[in-house]
Structure 1
Amino acid sequence: MIRTIRHITLWAALALSLAAFVYSAGALYGIHQNNDLIRQLVSGKDVAVNKVIGGEPELRLARAFYFKQKHRYDEALSTLSLIMDKSGRDFQAKARYNLGNLYLEQAMQQAKAMNINEAMPLAGLAKQAYRQSLALNSGDWDAKYNLEVAMRLLPEMDRVDMPDDELKNQKSQLWTTVPGFPRGLP
């Protein structure tokens, strides 16, 4: 009787171990496939939508980055909006950081084209996305730097848009709102 119980227990343990091995191998294969798709997207090659939909949020983030590289901003924005609240805090911070980069790039393009009225709301959205990213991960130096760039872009645009008389009257107020450049690590 005891020998039969021991025999059944060993076979059950073996079956359970085999099932765990098959599950782990399948998960590892899925990770490998996602990494290959991410490499394709980062190198500039598009991936079929059906492969991305079932993939991890990181794969969708890579697809949004691909769209940003190709200046397909609406598609990048819609892809990022699908993954904003996925996974943990670090991933959410990355998604918001990339959203800020998307808005900032558009704002800078509009500013270069002297479309100040279009650039101002985009710069504001970029600042908001960077602040949200920093609220989730306060140690992200890239988000801090890009927030600084977005904050400097907006006052510059305000100054270009103002008549000369208004600029002289508000000069002191303008410079009190612009933060100074950091002069090194704290």
Structure 2
Amino acid sequence: MIRRLRHISLWTALTVSLSGALYSAAMLYGIRQDNDLIRQLMSGKDVAVNKVIGGEPELRLARAFYFKQKHRYDEALSTLSLVMDKGDQKFQAKARYNLGNLYLEQAIQQAKAMNINEALPLTGLAKQAYRQALALDSGNWDAKYNLEVAMRLLPEMDRIDMPDEESKNQKSQLWTTVPGFPRGLP
């Protein structure tokens, strides 16, 4: 009886071990496929949508990055919106950082074209995305740097309220909330 019980437990252990090995092999194969698709996107080649839909959030993030590099901003934005709340905190910070980069690139293009009215809201959205990324991962130096770039591109302006009589005679004054760095010695 004990011999038979030992025999059954050995076969059960072998079956469970084999099942675990097959499951691990399938997971590794899926990760390898996702990595190949990410490499393909990073090299500038598009990937079929049906391969991305079932993939990990990192694959969708790579596809959004691909769209950004091809200046297909609307598609990049819609792809990023699908992964904003997926994954752990570091991944969410990375997604928001990439969202900020998307908005900042568009804002810089609009600012170079002197379309300040279009650049201003894009810069505000970039600042918001960078702040959210920093709230999730305060050690993200790239987000800190890009936030400062966005702040310098179009600084936040506060309107100074003046009495009614003085406002008729003088233009209102604006001041930035981010001081510039001093240049040179005193």
Query: Structure 1 length as normaliser, TM-score?
Result: 0.87
Report the AA paired with residue 111 of structure 2: A
Alpha-carbon RMSD across the aligned residues, in angstroms, is 1.9
Unaligned runs of 5+ residues in structure 2 are 159-169, 182-186
Corresponding residue for 1:42?
42
Deviation string 1:147-168 (CA, Å, 9 cap, x unpaired) is 000111112999xxxxxx748x
The number of residue pairs the alignment matches comes to 171
Corresponding residue for 1:28?
28
Deviation string 1:12-39 (CA, Å, 9 cap, x unpaired) is 0000000000000000000000000000
Secondary structure in structure 1 of the residue aligned to 2:52: helix
Corresponding residue for 2:153?
153
Query: Structure 2 length as normaliser, TM-score?
Result: 0.87
TM-superposed CA distance for 1:58, in Å, is 0.2
Q: Which whole-Å CA distance do the structure 1 matches of 2:48 and 2:148 have between them?
A: 36
For the pair shown, the structure with the greater C-alpha radius of gyration is: 2
Which 4+ residue blocks in structure 1 deviate beyond 4 angstroms?
A: none
Please show how residues 1-186 of structure 1 align to structure 2 within 5 Å.
1-155=1-155, 166=171, 169-170=173-174, 173-174=175-176, 177-181=177-181
TM-superposed CA distance for 1:179, in Å, is 3.9
Deviation string 1:78-116 (CA, Å, 9 cap, x unpaired) is 000000000100000000000000000000000000000
Unaligned runs of 5+ residues in structure 1 are 159-164, 182-186
Q: Which whole-Å CA distance do the structure 2 matches of 1:180 and 1:143 have between them?
A: 19
TM-superposed CA distance for 1:178, in Å, is 1.4
